[in-house]
């Protein structure tokens, strides 16, 4: 059995990951309305990744004979002022998710739950990649976003992103 605090944090993380998927779907909607289909694609794939992250936590709890409790998913933030505001919100959200993963890891470490720590190792690495991707997207937007031709090319680049399911084995 998992430690009660670790179990609670893992269960809560399922909801947080599904919220992340909703948030990125909202970002995708925003960019679709702006006719930036590449950006919309990029965030649609982000939403798929977050959904899969939620399912990995779900499966981990079930594999440890723990009961999963699904909670309501909050409505995502809407009404962004600019393309850059959406990208910045994405980075801020990834930083927040990193803090949540770190909190679970710290709780597992405190009770010497090495199996959960090993499970979380993948998420720690993944969050580093997520923050880097968000920072890179902001940097590209700062360089190219004000020029329509360059924005078009960046949009085309983002349209080429394809979904790859996580390769974490539980």
Position 115 scores a pLDDT of 96
pLDDT of 164 higher than 90: no
Over the stretch 52-83, which tens digit does the pLDDT of each residue have? 999 999 999 999 999 999 999 999 988 899 99
User: What pLDDT, on the 0 to 100 scale, is given for residue 170?
Assistant: 58
Query: Do 102 and 131 meet the contact criterion of CB atoms below 8 Å apart?
Result: no
Question: Average of pLDDT values for 40-62?
Answer: 97
Task: Kindly tell me if the per-residue pLDDT of 169 is higher than 70.
Answer: no
Q: Kindly calculate the radius of gyration of the chain based on its CA atoms and give it in whole angstroms.
A: 17
Q: Which pTM was predicted?
A: 0.93
Give the DSSP H or E segment for 103. helix 83-110
- Tell me: pLDDT of 1 over 90: no
Q: To the nearest 5 percent, what fractions of the chain are helix, strand and coil?
A: 75, 0, 25
pLDDT digits (tens, 9 = 90+) for 99-155: 999 999 999 999 999 999 999 999 999 999 999 999 999 999 999 888 899 999 999
pLDDT of residue 89: 97
Determine the average pLDDT of the residues in 34-38: 97
* Total Cβ atoms within 10 A of residue 95: 13
CATH of range 4-159; options 3.40.1160.10, 3.40.50.11720, 1.20.1260.10, 2.60.40.10: 1.20.1260.10
Q: Which tokens belong to 85? A: 């505001």
Domain ranges of the chain: 4-159
| Residue 48 buriedness (CB in 10 A; 0-12 / 13-18 / 19+) | middle
């Amino acid at each position: 059995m998992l430690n009660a605090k670790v179990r609670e944090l893992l269960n809560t993380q399922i909801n947080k990951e599904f919220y992340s998927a909703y948030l990125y779907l909202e970002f995708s909607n925003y960019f679709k309305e702006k006719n930036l289909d590449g950006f919309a694609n990029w965030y649609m794939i982000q939403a798929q990744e977050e959904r899969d992250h939620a399912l990995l936590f779900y499966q981990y709890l079930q594999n440890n004979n723990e009961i999963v409790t699904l909670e309501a998913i909050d409505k995502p933030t809407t009404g962004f002022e600019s393309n850059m505001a959406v990208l910045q919100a994405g980075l801020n959200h990834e930083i927040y998710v990193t803090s949540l993963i770190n909190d679970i890891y710290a709780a597992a470490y405190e009770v010497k739950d090495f199996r959960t720590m090993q499970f979380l190792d993948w998420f720690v690495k993944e969050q580093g990649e997520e923050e880097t991707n968000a920072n890179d997207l902001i940097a590209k937007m700062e360089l190219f976003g004000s020029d329509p031709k360059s924005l078009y090319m960046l949009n085309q680049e983002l349209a080429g992103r394809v979904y790859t399911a996580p390769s974490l084995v539980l």
